[in-house]
Structure 1
Amino acid sequence: MVRARVVVYPPTAGGGRRVRVGEEILGRARSAGELLEFLRRAGLDPDAVDLHDPDLIEWRGGGPGVWE
């Protein structure tokens, strides 16, 4: 499984949060489900991702329950 560092940025004024894996910006997720889809496309198994794992995901501007 890929263990690149994931950064989820603070919510934007237009909604959603920018998502980066390593040096690549994957897009703007508007929910935890969309985030997991981005991570699946990046090579992670969404069933094995713990959104509360600080070794994998750095949440900026709120945790996995904050999207607006």
Structure 2
Amino acid sequence: MTERDCPRVTAPLLVVLPVQPGSPPFRVVEVGGELAGTARSVVDVIEIAQQAGVHHLDLEDPDLVRWVGGDQFTWTPRHLR
């Protein structure tokens, strides 16, 4: 089955990409497929969503938010072995 054949394939409004090394570490946030900003905590993700007009954000709803490389509690980079 391909994605177009799947009845429930939707792109979430927000995509929070993996943690990037930095001081402090951060995650890039996309809204509607466009770069919206960087987040250093879940509070920043909420603020970015509010700036995009999303005022009631459920961080655990996969239809609204896709967490890549960790969930809302992941804010340190993963180290490769």
Q: Please indicate, yes or no, whether the TM-score normalized by the shorter chain is above 0.5.
A: yes
Secondary structure, aligned partner of 2:17: strand
Letter in 2 for 1:20: E
The structure number with the bigger radius of gyration is 2
State which of 27, 30, 35 in structure 1 corresponds to 2:37.
Answer: 27
Q: Percent identity?
A: 41
How many pairs were matched up? 63
Q: 2:19 aligns with which of 11, 15, 32?
A: 11
1:23: Cα distance to partner?
2.4
Alignment counterpart, residue 54 of structure 1, candidates 56, 62, 66: 62
| TM-score between the two structures when normalised by the length of structure 2 | 0.73
- Displacement, 1:31? 0.5
| TM superposition score normalised by structure 1 | 0.86
Q: Which runs of 4+ in 1 moved over 4 A?
A: none
Q: CA RMSD in A?
A: 1.1
* Runs (5+) with no aligned partner, structure 1: none
- Residue segments in structure 2 that go unaligned for 5+ positions in a row: 1-11, 77-81
